[in-house]
Amino acid sequence: MIEIEVKLFATLVKYRPKESDAFKLPDKTTIAGLLSKLNIPEEETKLIFVNGKKQPMTHEVQHGDRVGIFPPVGGG
């Protein structure tokens, strides 16, 4: 098991686990797997940063990682 910190932004805040930003996952969990565990539809995400670097859905998170997940931004 690994433990990571997850920060959700804007419209994704509603998916935040109630207890804390720390999240435990099995080893070799990908970003896509993390989204699934959090019940976040992939199409509701636009940018995902791990330790400050943009990462693809196939990226495996590691113990101690800090993950930031952002939705698409609309504007006008």
Prediction pTM value:
0.90
Q: What is the spatial distance between Cα 42 and Cα 58, in angstroms, rounded to a whole number?
A: 12
Is domain 2-70 given the CATH code 3.40.50.920 in the classification? no
SS3 for 44? helix
SS3 for 24? strand
Q: What is the spatial distance between Cα 38 and Cα 17, in angstroms, rounded to a whole number?
A: 8
pLDDT tens string 8-30: 999 999 998 776 778 899 999 99
pLDDT tens string 61-75: 999 999 999 999 865
